[in-house]
A = this chain, B = another copy of it.
């Protein structure tokens, strides 16, 4: 674990050198613009369910980051949303037909790349939202089948119906479900904010390079502090 943490740090340094060089190019070209916070936010928390947040599953993410950054950060974001009446959508993933040889399955073709056949909808504990950040009455839990929380789901329509114009995205993994949710979010017309400390993964470097790509082209990356401050003040600004 110790030397693994070292590797991550070393790689992280190297990546940030590359990001600095890339940022020069991006800045010259007019990329890395700021999209800004809007008037009506919602929090979209992606796949912070037990199969991803707890040990012992193929989907288990980096536990150090999960326990010390993501969950505590999410608790602060949830408190700010709940105190100020902002919608919270908890997203999770599970499948009805997990037999990889079935003629027809809601896994589609994705089981041909990753082990989604382990998340059987009959095993509710697996895909239940982590109890440390459990939904409260009135918060919506969205069950998705693909990486994106928008693709093949009702999410965009519901958010528009509620006049939401800004989404704060958290969860796992940076490589897949978070990144796809962010990219679809801006394509669907929402201001997209990726919450820095609350996005995780299970392989070294992936959070860094995916947040770099997202910040350059698809979302503003902000800290939990900045997001909490926004969630606490946006209402007054509008009234």
A25 touches B202 (CB 8 A): yes
Taking CB atoms, residues of chain B closer than 8 Å to A111 are: 33
B109 touches A161 (CB 8 A): yes
**Interface residue total, chain A, C-beta cutoff 8 A:** 87
Taking CB atoms, residues of chain B closer than 8 Å to A85 are: 103
A156 interface contact, C-beta 8 A: yes
A96 touches B141 (CB 8 A): yes
Report how many copies the assembly holds: 4
Which residues 122-171 in A have Cβ within 8 Å of B in the complex?
A: 138, 140-141, 144-148, 151-165
- Please list the residues of chain A having a beta carbon within 8 angstroms of any beta carbon in chain B: 7, 11, 14-15, 17-18, 21-22, 25-26, 29-36, 42, 58-59, 85, 87, 89, 96-97, 99, 102-106, 108-115, 118, 138, 140-141, 144-148, 151-165, 175-176, 180, 183-184, 186-191, 202-206, 209-210, 213, 216-219
